[in-house]
Structure 1
């Protein structure tokens, strides 16, 4: 009976593995992973570079009132397209769909660099976001197919290394390009990296070909989801700024958003091939990780957007230096992510990491909300390191637990779902924190700077700020400090939700290779 049990365990373990040739050398898997990580680097670099260049972009094109939309358009398009990319990959094969998303992303990059006004830039950023949705979900789904969750920690070093390049190199590259070549090259820089990604993925990624579509795409569900997301983000962006909260426009958008999302849920229960099968939410861990991922996206993109603004406007840093000053947060994030991945691989334990990460994230955001015009760079660096450590505990674990919470046949759905909620969090975070930041800056400028010294007179870049009279410049610095305070305080409040969700995570054993599983597989053979 004991032998039968061992054989059963081994057979189950083998069944949990993705369909791949067992004799595939480990080196080949690493080459594929390298190609995937270069592609992920392409998507991750973009917002980081643009975030650092944003003050100069606004200074050139104007339109501070639309500041948050430059990032919101990107993240909104990413969120709306992610489920569709995931379903297309499941139906028609991941490789071709993946390459298509890279091409769309590069086309959006070229167009964004050619933008002549803020409206064009926002539109072209949406094209970029459309492609980025396919990049992100494609990488995660392919990794989920190739590597079992328990073995995935072996590749945590590669993933953390690429993220380190993006997080640290992005602001540095963005600042250097902005100061020396102009902000348009912050988009053109994607082209050589994109060409490398296209070549490597084409050559080294070999996946089983699909015989054909197994069903029709749920276009109605996708349309309702896109409409609902767009309406809600418009509410958070326009409410209290473009329109009063009780205005007819805001009320109509709220109604459209609610009706669309309710309709989406209803359609998903009836569709033969739903964009997001609701069965995945029966897993408590998947649902909780979706919540944690949403909050992590909310916080991370808000921090990347507003910390450079604070550093350049209040602490007097150049675009390049503001990128360097983000290093405490980014290095802490990468180091902690690497440690968490290795511990998870060796022990199979992971519940403690979301809890610790959420605590540190709340603490870091609260500390950042305490910054004012007198805060030193060393102090702000310590605060950023605390936030970065918290994010590091959450970066890989959310996707790992989400994928481990569903059956292998739902791997693409789990990957796109987790990516969707993180993208939604990014969109909501930038929109909400951006609206609060802009509103506070304008209020403080009117109160302290007089009618002539409004937010429009200071275009957020160092050159324009230096031309202001001393009184107006001091008023603007105080206004930016006050706007930063309210933005991060709201972020800390939202981060408490992640802490509550993390406490209720159930530690389910990770599928795949571990000491016990390998022994069981050997005995079964």
Structure 2
């Protein structure tokens, strides 16, 4: 239910739409911001071996990535709510500043503990880059034209995932691993200047009241849940006491958070969002899509190297077609398909294509098909997924009131990241279970411990190698099968998605603030 002030603001908004030139200038700055956040993970992953050789602490190496992911995912909904209360521009300033501050500190880290802490600081900033960029696009661009920009967003992420490892390797070899962080400074400064000169400061539609207790409860609950997903089955067994304690803590703080927001006049995450059928379905679909995608694609390099026998460098190239497919279909969707003003048919088609592609991949992996079948399937999988992500975001932004657009978009992004983490944790558990179940049955014990230590010339060596390949083949094929089932669930659910008519004119954008 809108308030009178919100109605007045909405009326003013319609009379002050941004010009196309203004949109292009702002979008140029947002593209740089998105590239900063998208490329960071792949660049850092490439430099991890060099970081370990300099700083040591290989047993805690995974926390260089984990601390960043935890911080960025947990803060996403907060950025959306704060941008609704204080406007997009100052909150985006804060996100860029924190990202650059974390980059400087990471580059100057003297040991692995410092690097892990500084990566968390960098992650706090990164948590706002993607959702705020999508929110600003939703503010400035009419719904029917929004697909073109959202398609570019998907294309940027796909491109960065491909070129990131290359750039990271070059910087690490030519300069040092410190510069993979320092290089963010000039790029971020350019984005900061462009946004400061082009993006309007808008009048917030919310009262400036911060829900401190709700923010604390939501953040601690989210971090505890993410720690369970990240550490369970790896650092600690799923039924170990630390995992059980973290799960209980997440449950308790989650219940406390729900009870709190029911009585808070300005909650950090309004429960009204979950009364919107479109938002609920879209959030679940986004989570399921990324659960299947991340859970299966995580093992593409492992499959190519251990099962297909290709080199690590070539395995990275072989996963590229999926990102190319995502980029191409997202761009085509925004420039052609979205002109009709409908998003549901495209999402349905995208999920149907992705489900079939996953099924073909599972069959190909299990039956030892050639790359001539596997590679087109990976490319078509990308084509299908590229039609899902931008359109679901547009659907949510079109269904929510302006006062909830920021927090709604950021929460959708949060569910996307959460789904990806669940997918990674779940697929890892499935792979481990499959390996444990097949190893004893397929690998001869004598082959594992040949007498006399003559492993090089032992007659069972080739049987062991072939048995191991078969074990990994079927185990990874099972993760592809699960991925297909998860995306199929998203396909069935998307059929229930309501379709809100998209307008071809600008409306309900934030009004310019009075000087």
- Report if TM-score (shorter chain) is over 0.5: yes
2:323 to 326, 330, 335: 330
Q: Is the 8 A contact 1:51 1:308 kept in 2?
A: no
Distance in 1, matches of 2:176 and 2:71, equals 26
Distance 1:385 1:161, change over 3 A: closer
Instruction: Tell me, in whole angstroms, the C-alpha distance in 2 between the residues paired with 1:398 and 1:208.
Output: 25
1:206 and 2:211 aligned? no
Q: Would you say how many aligned residue pairs link Structure 1 and Structure 2?
A: 487
For residues 255-284 of structure 1, give each alpha carbon's deviation from its aligned partner in whole angstroms, at most 9, with x where no partner exists. Answer: 222222222122111112111111122221
Q: 2:221 aligns with which of 228, 235, 242?
A: 228
1:505 aligned onto 2:500? no
1:86 partnered with 2:80: yes
1:481-501 Cα distance to aligned partner (Å, 9 max, x none): 555334433333322331122
Q: Which residue of 1 aligns with 2:511?
A: none
How far is the alpha carbon of 1:503 from its aligned partner?
Answer: 0.9
TM-score w.r.t. the length of structure 1 is: 0.79
For 1:349 and 1:493, the matched residues in 2 are separated by 26
Give me the whole-angstrom Cα distance separating, in 1, the residues matched to 2:445 and 2:174. 35
Report which stretch shifted further, 251-260 or 471-480. 471-480
Q: Unmatched 5+ residue regions in structure 1?
A: 1-11, 455-468, 518-525
Counterpart Cα distance in 1 of 2:318 and 2:172:
16
Contact 1:150 1:345 in 2 (8 A): yes
- 8 Å CA contact 1:112–1:125 kept in 2: the answer is yes
**CA gap 1:276/1:32 in 2 versus in 1, 3 angstroms:** same
Superposition pairs of residues 91-130 of structure 1, within 5 angstroms: 91-112=85-106, 122-130=116-124
Q: CA RMSD in A?
A: 4.0
> What is the deviation of 1:399?
0.7
Distance 1:90 1:120, change over 3 A: same
Contact between 1:153 and 1:345, CA under 8 Å: does it hold in 2? yes
Aligned CA distance change for structure 1 residues 71 and 382 (closer, same or farther; 3 Å): farther
Superposed displacement of residue 64, structure 1: 8.4
Partner of 2:273: 280
Describe how 1:336-351 pairs up with structure 2 within 5 A: 336-351=329-344
Give the deviation of 1:368 after TM superposition. Answer: 3.6
**C-alpha displacement of 1:248:** 3.4
Of 270, 281, 284, which aligns to 1:291? 284
Q: What does residue 136 of structure 1 align with?
A: 130
State the Cα distance separating 1:181 from its structure 2 match: 6.2
Deviation of 1:206 (Å)? 2.4
Matches within 5 A, 1:42-441: 42-50=36-44, 70-112=64-106, 122-155=116-149, 158-159=152-153, 161-174=155-168, 186-208=180-202, 214-303=207-296, 305-315=298-308, 320-370=313-363, 371=365, 376-437=370-431
Pair 1:471–1:156, CA change in 2 (3 A): same
Change (3 A) 1:486 1:231: farther
SS at match of 2:299: helix
After TM superposition, the score normalised by the length of structure 2 is 0.80
Q: 1:289 to 1:269 in 2, by over 3 A?
A: same
Give the stretch that moved more between structures: 197-206 or 303-312: 303-312
